[in-house]
Amino acid sequence: MEKSGQGSLIRYHTGEIRLIWKVLIAVVIYVAVAILLRFIPIFLITMFNASRGIDRQEALNAAKSLVFEHPICSIALGIVNALLSFLLVWFLIKVFEKRHFEWKDMGIDWRRNSLWSMVFGALLALLIYIAGVVVDHQILGHSIPTIETFLAAVTVSAVVRNLAIWIPMGFSEEIFFRGYVQTRLVERHGAPFGILFGSIIFTLLHLLGRPLSPATIFSGIILWAAVGALYHWSKSVYLVGMFHGIMNSLLNVLPSDRSDTAGLIVHALTLLLIIVGGHYILKSSRTT
């Protein structure tokens, strides 16, 4: 039996559950919800098709194709995922942690430069993407797609579909990983550790979807550390959510595969600029 005033593996000496377990539980719930959100419709559609006499494997393939590739289904999944992410954060704070809950504490306050934050996030994503292509081509000497290939890929339907899918998904992931996970880590361990560890968790979770090379993982950690620093200075989910959504849209629409080296260079420079800019703004605000 735990002695009063002493910590344990599960709790701090105050009796509060240790942060590592809070974060682990939160991430497991988030991933489980994301998986179930895709598994349940696939299961139901497969059962429906099988009941009509379609071979079970064919029914399963058709269900996966509908859920993952059909524009309307993909868009609906992105929106529902975003709504569930908001609900999950509310549940974790209000019910699990029993804290006072306000959306503005998570970086969601429409009255606080939300429109300009989203514009800045979109422009920053575009700038980083272009910088990666330029570094890849001009500095590293890699080839880039021709204008004809570029224009063939950038159709109105492809752009609209990807924006509708990835912007809600970007906001979903940012409200959870930056608004909740990073915020809790920073509260307990300070900004450098909280931002870095949060970006490591977020990057490594992508291994559940596909294998990543060590260079891609390292490049991703740097990028999401930059996004984490941006959120830490701005306290705006609108900014990082739009950045995330536009960046994913660009990577899925435009026919350009940047090398890991180009990503490392551009992401490291971005992180450095955000850190320097954040310190400069903070110093200026203290002197005024």
Is residue 113 included in any domain, yes or no?
yes
- What does residue 146 show for φ and ψ, rounded to 5 degrees? -75, 165
Is residue 170 included in any domain, yes or no?
yes
Write the pLDDT tens digit of every residue in 223-256: 999 999 999 988 899 999 999 999 999 888 876 6
Q: How many other C-beta atoms lie within 10 A of the C-beta of residue 20?
A: 13
Q: Are 169 and 84 in contact (CB under 8 A)?
A: no
pLDDT at 34: 86
Please state which of the ranges 50-59, 95-104, 150-159, 227-236 shows the lowest mean pLDDT: 150-159
| 14: Cα separation from own chain's centroid | 33
Nearest to 233 by CA among 271, 203, 267, 188: 271
Query: What is the rounded (10 degree) CA torsion for 124, 127, 132, 133?
Result: 150
pLDDT at 1: 39
Looking at the structure of the chain, the number of domains it has is 1
pLDDT at 228: 96
- β-bridge mates for residue 17, sequence order: 11
Is residue 71 included in any domain, yes or no?
no
pLDDT at 103: 79
Helix (H, G, I), strand (E, B) or coil at 203: helix
pTM for this model (two decimals): 0.87
Local confidence band at 199 (pLDDT 50, 70, 90 cut-offs): very high
Say how many CA atoms lie within 13 Å of 88 toward its Cβ.
26
Structural domain for 111, as ranges: 101-287
| 122: Cα separation from own chain's centroid | 14
Is residue 192 included in any domain, yes or no?
yes
- Over residues 111-135, the mean pLDDT reads 89
